[in-house]
Structure 1
Amino acid sequence: MALSREEIDRIVDNLKMPYRLIISLMYGCGLRVSECISLRVNNFNFDMKILTIHDGKGKKDRTVPIPDSLFNQLSTQLQRVIALHEEDCRLGYSGVFLPNQLETKYKNAARELVWQWFFPAKQLTTVEKSGELRRYHVHESLLQKSLRTAVNKSHIPKRVTSHTFRHSFASHLLQANYDIRTIQELMGHSDVRTTMIYTHTVKSTTKKEAKSPLDF
């Protein structure tokens, strides 16, 4: 079930940072929760206002426009990440967690700014075997807990999960007359039949320029 824009705004208003920005980005860009919490600095191109999702479902990359209404908040979050990264480096930490193949290929990548999590966990993690201090991204369970609290405060009589915001993204694009192929591309669906589930209540017509529904 999709939420109305007014319902989304009510929920977002009851969220604290960074969860407010995470949920806003999930709705504004149609991201899966796993894609959003695992974003790194190098996923964002602020000059081009483009967000690239690497290794999404099906291991495919896709790009989506960064919502204009989130641009300043995202820029501020980047500055927080930069400050945290500088402090971590002063403490002599070993970097963020990376896929093993990437760590093997690029020895210093874990400590480079571009590989830092965009939504980092508050605490460093000690690796048992090596004793290294590493940083992980914010945990999904903390996001889900914060979201449940915000939904309850918003008094919305619907079942709301993190996936609801991705569902709402697609539904609102259809209501704004985006064609189904554009939505398929923005959602990262390999098969258009998956995207077609959103058309049972909304008629779609063609619209050329892609925008985030957060900017309507």
Structure 2
Amino acid sequence: MGALEVEAFLTHWAVDGHVSSSTQNQALSALLFLYREVLDQDLPWMQDVVRAKRPAHLPVVLTQAEVASVLERMHGVHGLMARLLYGTGMRLMEVVRLRVKDVDFARTEILVRDGKGGKDRVTMLPRKLAAPLQEHLLWRKRLLEDDTAKGLASVYLPDALERQYPNAKNEWGWQYIFPSGSHSVDPRSGEKRRHHHDLHPCAQQRRLWSVRPFGPTLTEA
């Protein structure tokens, strides 16, 4: 096939066949591979081919009442994490990896470290969540005291901080706010320590989806 035949074939799929953009792109990629890798021919005219357009889908957004109905059905640590997700705009793993020193109650701010694109940023701490978070930190500090008594208080420090500040790994400020429920051996250092919460992103998403604001079915966190 020449340029005219290839263009007609792909345009037919886009215009008359009403295929999805991914289907047409797959056919286009197959033809490019055939001509470039098998037939050793360059196809500069491929850029003129009519491509199938991806349909624009509007996102489904819950109303404030629906969000409140969902959050009311979530309790405990997972409930607090869900409220932080909604109230701060943080991503799930950003909440999971929060450390004590990153929360400034006086300024009602949270410092998100190494976020999207490897950048740090500051987000707000909703005043409504300050008291529940402080209450959670009281429990967290008791847990640290227990770990310290067992010699298991250290946490992972990023980059070379552990070499620069050898005592920081045991300090309160560096502790994860949402820690794992057990200790495990860190494969990087071989040290037994408590990592951050081992909640998988899909698990929290399933919790949020399973809490139905319009029915009795819900999953207790």
User: In 2, are the aligned partners of 1:96 and 1:110 still within 8 Å (CA)?
Assistant: yes
User: Residues of 1 paired with 2:124 and 2:117: CA distance?
Assistant: 21
How far 1:100 sits from its partner (Å)? 4.1
**By how many angstroms is 1:16 displaced?**
2.9
1:152, 1:70 → 2: CA distance?
Answer: 23
Give the equivalent residue in structure 1 for 2:36. Answer: none
- The yes-or-no answer on 1:107 pairing with 2:195 is no
Deviation at 1:88?
0.5
Q: Is the 8 A contact 1:45 1:51 kept in 2?
A: yes
The answer for unaligned runs of 5 or more in structure 1 is 158-216
Q: Distance in 2 between matches of 1:155 and 1:45?
A: 32
The letter for the 1-side match of 2:157 is L
Label 1:147 to 1:58 Cα distance change in 2 as closer, same or farther (>3 A).
closer
Of the three residues 148, 152, 172, the one matched with 1:93 is 152
- Aligned partner of 2:210 in structure 1 is 152
AA aligned opposite 1:44: V
**Corresponding residue for 1:198?**
none
Q: How does 1:176-191 map onto structure 2 within 5 Å?
A: none
Matched ranges for 1:1-216 at <5 A:
1-93=60-152, 95-127=154-186, 132-141=191-200, 144-154=202-212
- Structure 2: how far apart are the matches of 1:82 and 1:129? 26
Structure having greater relative contact order (Cα 8 Å, sep ≥ 6): 1
Equivalent residues of 1:15, 1:147 under 8 A apart: no
Supply the distance in 2 between the matched residues of 1:128 and 1:25 (Cα, whole angstroms).
30
What SS does the corresponding residue of 1:92 show, helix, strand or coil? Answer: coil
- Cα 1:105/1:41, change in 2 over 3 Å: same
Task: Mark the structure with the bigger radius of gyration.
Answer: 2
Q: 1:60 to 1:156 in 2, by over 3 A?
A: farther
Distance (whole Å) between structure 2 residues aligned to residue 155 and residue 66 of structure 1:
25
Distance in 1 (alpha carbons) for counterparts of 2:191 and 2:110: 31
Once residues 203 and 188 of structure 2 are traced to their aligned partners in structure 1, the CA distance between those partners, rounded to angstroms, is 31
Using the TM superposition, name which of 119-128 and 107-116 deviates more: 119-128
Offset at residue 30 of structure 1 (A): 0.4
Counterpart-to-counterpart distance in 1, 2:209 and 2:66 = 9
TM-score, scaled relative to structure 2 = 0.64
- TM-score norm. by structure 1 comes to 0.65
Q: Distance in 2 between matches of 1:64 and 1:38?
A: 15
CA distance in structure 2 between the partners assigned to 1:153 and 1:129 by the alignment: 37
> C-alpha deviations, 1:104-156, integer Å up to 9, x for none?
22111111000000111111113468663201111232x64354245324156
Runs of 4+ in 1 over 4 A off after TM superposition: 128-131
CA deviation map 1:74-112 (0-9, x unaligned)? 111111111111111001115112224121221111110
SS state of the match for residue 93, structure 1?
Answer: coil
How many residue pairs are counted as aligned between the two chains?
A: 156
CA shift at 1:72, angstroms? 0.6
RMSD: 2.2
Return the letter of the residue paired with 1:7. Answer: E
